[in-house]
Amino acid sequence: MKEYGESAFTNETRAVWEPLIEAVWPKGKTAEHDLRCTIAAIFWRPENGAKWRSIPTELGPWWQAVQLFIRWAKFGV
């Protein structure tokens, strides 16, 4: 059984994204595991055509995914 977000945010995808994430992520803000769940939530939403508030709780708080998405959009990520 696949975990939430696994189909889009695979290990190969993580390898591509991690240098970009490191460049814009403030150190000491969020644990790496939590960050990966949040990124998986960002990938999950468009795959499922859902609203932000519909993100499964297993992927962390929906508002955290929105906040990160907006931050990245401002940085052009």
| Per-residue pLDDT tens digits of the chain, which is 77 residues long | 345 545 567 778 778 877 877 776 666 666 655 778 888 899 888 888 889 999 999 988 999 999 989 988 988 87
Query: What's the structural domain count of the chain?
Result: 1
Determine the Cα–Cα distance for residues 73 and 77; give it in Å rounded to an integer.
Answer: 6
5: in domain: no
Determine the Cα–Cα distance for residues 8 and 46; give it in Å rounded to an integer.
Answer: 10
31: in domain: yes
Determine the Cα–Cα distance for residues 40 and 56; give it in Å rounded to an integer.
Answer: 10
The DSSP output letter for 29 is S
65: in domain: yes
Q: What is the pTM of this model?
A: 0.67
42: in domain: yes
54: in domain: yes
Contact between 17 and 38 under an 8 Å Cβ cutoff? The reply is: no
The H or E element containing residue 36 is helix 32-48
